[in-house]
Structure 1
């Protein structure tokens, strides 16, 4: 079995080296980059299994790196854990909006960060279901879990891993109203520390990518969200 590869993009070298040492002790292969441009280049060439990405980076800022990774066909599905010294809610939400799967703020505990990395990797690989039901199609939206592809009317959607899981959860029980907490548990994971507005950010991005199909994801006032059932669409 191939060793899990993690890329750390962090300009504070002592933090990067300490984290790298702890991750190697856990059995991971670790790559490091000291600026955003080099981090982007290494991600594109080495295709790591997860990226730890600092927000404040020289040469190319973390948000721009994240956007470019999410727009690249070979890198858009790589989980990204964003690290930032900014603890304001708006900064965290911006990071999630451009495609980060989770975040942690500085100063942080190495133990907590390693735990988050393990949790993100578990969410990526551990939620396999039987072969039946691998492909779901509702109202022109298709999720192919085996190939990890999502399409609307035959056009592939450039979804982040979290957006993919979120769409899958909504499609599997079309018509059911999910609370934000239920969606966070199902699509992001019970072990993730996230803001309640995190789901709103992911839903907004998902609707934007669905384009003409954006209204298929309904806001249920006072509850959360649901994917419209076929008969509800026809009656509207």
Structure 2
């Protein structure tokens, strides 16, 4: 794994050297700048993961450098921790209002500095990996969290959630309304996860596909709550005429008008205390097989591993989504 890159902007040579040594010993790659102009040049070229920015520097002070860093698209989203001997409320506000992510007063505690750097690295990674539509963790985070749970050896459950007839809805109403449907399901998943114990994880694979990781004992109740909430919310996403007749008319691949029912959800449930799973690809394959089976069952459905458990709500006959 590549080392995280930290750019130090500090004009005092001894403090800069101490910081450099501490950060290298902590496993970071370190780049140094001795004034505000140099930090701007280096930030553009090396794209650090975090910048430690001293306030009092020659040529351009920390506040001016901060303003320039935030004005450039190339450096706008780099986490910046301000380092200063000043600790007045006005100084802190100047840094935060200018776009600093954090503020540390000299003399700082080494462990506190490392904690703040790691917090910023974690926040930055989450922002990069998040789905831009829902703000939920994306595929990289989903895979990492799933592999972590597999590696722990503790049983867990994976629920893969997919909207049925979403393409027809999206084609009929357009992308903005499609995005609204996806965001509706996203909120339902987050709410359900918060209702069933701690340690649940919700991720957005992409499009209308989501993942929820939980414990085996909560999984079925979670799935049923998602089904109930989406069944209640979905009709309100349609225009009154379509809602009353229970379908939308959309041209199929043969350019023929076809009736597609109101959206439902298919949930594939894989619990590692019932299915022997040793790696991520195997878990994904089982979930995909279950989801394919669930797509053939009318209405919203929760399909358990080996098809031992199926919970569905009655609805119109399914068509190809």
Counterpart CA distance in 2 for 1:144 and 1:66 is: 29
Contact 1:36–1:60 (8 Å) recurs in 2: yes
Tell me what 2:63 maps to: 63
Following superposition, the deviation at residue 73 of structure 1 comes to 0.8
* Structure 1: gaps spanning 5 or more residues: 137-142, 147-171, 174-236
Tell me what 1:226 maps to: none
Counterpart CA distance in 2 for 1:63 and 1:126 is: 26
Following superposition, the deviation at residue 116 of structure 1 comes to 1.1
Q: Deviations over 1:174-219 (max 9, x none)?
A: xxxxxxxxxxxxxxxxxxxxxxxxxxxxxxxxxxxxxxxxxxxxxx
Following superposition, the deviation at residue 106 of structure 1 comes to 1.1
1:6 aligns with 2:6: yes
* Structure 2: gaps spanning 5 or more residues: 139-186, 189-321
Q: Deviations over 1:30-69 (max 9, x none)?
A: 0011111111111111110100000111110100100111
RMSD: 2.6
Tell me what 1:108 maps to: 108
Tell me what 1:50 maps to: 50
Following superposition, the deviation at residue 82 of structure 1 comes to 0.4
TM-score normalised by length of structure 1: 0.55
- Would the alpha carbon gap of residues 93 and 145 (structure 1) be closer, same or farther in structure 2, given more than 3 Å must change? farther
Q: Which has the higher Rg, Structure 1 or Structure 2?
A: 2
- Would the alpha carbon gap of residues 13 and 111 (structure 1) be closer, same or farther in structure 2, given more than 3 Å must change? farther
Counterpart CA distance in 1 for 2:22 and 2:92 is: 25
Contact 2:8–2:16 (8 Å) recurs in 1: yes
SS in 2 for 1:74: coil
Following superposition, the deviation at residue 126 of structure 1 comes to 4.3
Following superposition, the deviation at residue 134 of structure 1 comes to 4.3
Contact 1:135–1:145 (8 Å) recurs in 2: no
Task: Decide which of 133, 136, 142 is 1:135's aligned counterpart.
Answer: 133
Q: Which runs of 4+ in 1 moved over 2 A?
A: 126-129, 143-146
- Would the alpha carbon gap of residues 145 and 63 (structure 1) be closer, same or farther in structure 2, given more than 3 Å must change? farther
- Would the alpha carbon gap of residues 94 and 125 (structure 1) be closer, same or farther in structure 2, given more than 3 Å must change? same
1:90 aligns with 2:90: yes
Following superposition, the deviation at residue 76 of structure 1 comes to 0.2
Q: Deviations over 1:135-190 (max 9, x none)?
A: 04xxxxxx7986xxxxxxxxxxxxxxxxxxxxxxxxx79xxxxxxxxxxxxxxxxx
Tell me what 1:234 maps to: none
Tell me what 2:31 maps to: 31
SS in 2 for 1:135: coil
Alignment of 1:167-206 (within 5 A): none
Following superposition, the deviation at residue 2 of structure 1 comes to 2.2
Contact 1:6–1:48 (8 Å) recurs in 2: yes
Contact 1:67–1:98 (8 Å) recurs in 2: yes
Counterpart CA distance in 2 for 1:134 and 1:51 is: 24
Instruction: Count residues in correspondence.
Output: 141
Counterpart CA distance in 2 for 1:128 and 1:41 is: 23
Contact 1:79–1:100 (8 Å) recurs in 2: yes
Following superposition, the deviation at residue 111 of structure 1 comes to 2.3
Counterpart CA distance in 2 for 1:122 and 1:75 is: 18
Contact 1:134–1:145 (8 Å) recurs in 2: no
Counterpart CA distance in 1 for 2:117 and 2:25 is: 14
Following superposition, the deviation at residue 122 of structure 1 comes to 1.5
Following superposition, the deviation at residue 88 of structure 1 comes to 0.2
Counterpart CA distance in 2 for 1:67 and 1:25 is: 31
